Amino acid sequence: MRRGAVVAVVAGLATLVPAGVWLSGIAAAADEAQIIGVLSLPGYPNDVFVRDGLAYVGIGGADGALAVADVSDPANLRLLGLLEFGSAVNSVTADGGFVFMADDFGFRVVDVSDPAAPSLVATVGTNGMAKRVWLNGPFAYVACGVQGLSVVDVSNPLDPILVGEVSVPGQAVGVCTAGGNLFVAAMEEGLQTLDASEPSAPVALGAMPTVDHALGVFPGPGLVYLSWCGGLIVADIADPSNPREVGSVTMPDIAYVSVVKDGLAYVPCRAGGLQVVDVSVPDSPTVVASVEIEGEVLAVAVADAVRETAEQAPEAGEGSQAASSRAYIVGYPLGLAVIQLDP
């Protein structure tokens, strides 16, 4: 995707997507950004994680469920399995044949070794509604709103154990790890940092205020990307006790949890669609593409690179954009959509 040019509506899009879905914004040419597949889903899709040709979608509302979809052929997306819970599934991540979930009743583990027949294998009650889950080695960190964080040992996914709980100022709604530390999106209390050198007993380190509610956080090398009600903030965490804002960009609507890969941040913006931001220069993030969707865009994934740890991520400015970028978004009433963004 050449950066900074203008794009029109993609030709022929109506043959690929349902009525009311369209592309616009900033990109190079109409054939360089297109929705290449859509799958209708029940309920209110809240989150998505993609790995090895499969998408795991958390569904909220009264129809709370985990959906497993085959996305190996974007033009022929297929729903493989659906496991209903009756409670909102707020966050999903996957590793080693298991999906780890945060829902309104706590933390759950689902065996997805057979994608067509996902099965619940364990539940851990958390101190409050589970909003977000982040895996780091044998531990899952679960953001639990006003109740702070829960720490779960998942070294045996069939028998996860709650090993710690810690209070956090504000409401913990997003969490990630980087460099042995925890970073928490804490709503009205902005970004909170904790020392996780003892994983079961994190200790408060510092904080960075935001103008409005902080909603999600994602790591980079020496940086975190903080989504908030007004946009995206790039924060320097070289000193985790004193994180500081180095760059920001406004969004057209509420920005939810972003994903960063190859110098691009993918930001789901509720009624503002999907915004793609060049963050290769941390102090001057710039919107380079916009995908407008009728309804709400609530979450995004980038295959096999989503939610990587900061230690695995490329240095800022390195590992420039891959030959092509494929993003997976979920929303209501859209369901699941695959978007191709080519350089």
Residue type, 144: C
Q: What are the pLDDT digits (tens) for 4-49? A: 322 222 222 322 333 334 443 333 333 456 899 999 999 999 999 9
| Chain Cα centroid distance, residue 293 | 18
Give whole-number Cα distances, 53 to 77, 78, 150, in Å: 10, 11, 30
Q: What is the pLDDT of residue 304?
A: 53
Walk along the chain (343 residues) in steps of 10 and give the mean pLDDT of each run: 31 33 36 81 94 95 92 96 94 96 95 98 92 96 96 98 96 95 97 96 96 95 95 97 97 95 94 95 95 93 57 39 72 95 66
Residue 110 structure tokens: 């689902």
Instruction: Work out the mean pLDDT of the chain and round it to a whole number.
Output: 86
Q: Fill in the amino acid letter for 119.
A: S
Sign of the CA dihedral with 6 first, then 299, 237, and 320 last: negative
The token duo for 73 is 């052929």
Distance between CA atoms of 197 and 14, rounded to whole angstroms? 51
Please work out, in degrees rounded to the nearest 5, the angle formed at the alpha carbon of residue 186 by the alpha carbons of 291 and 157: 85
Given this model, what pLDDT does residue 303 score?
73
Residue 342 is predicted with a pLDDT of 67
pLDDT the model gives residue 5 = 26
Q: Return the beta strands (E) in 125-179 as ranges.
A: 132-136, 139-143, 149-153, 161-166, 174-178
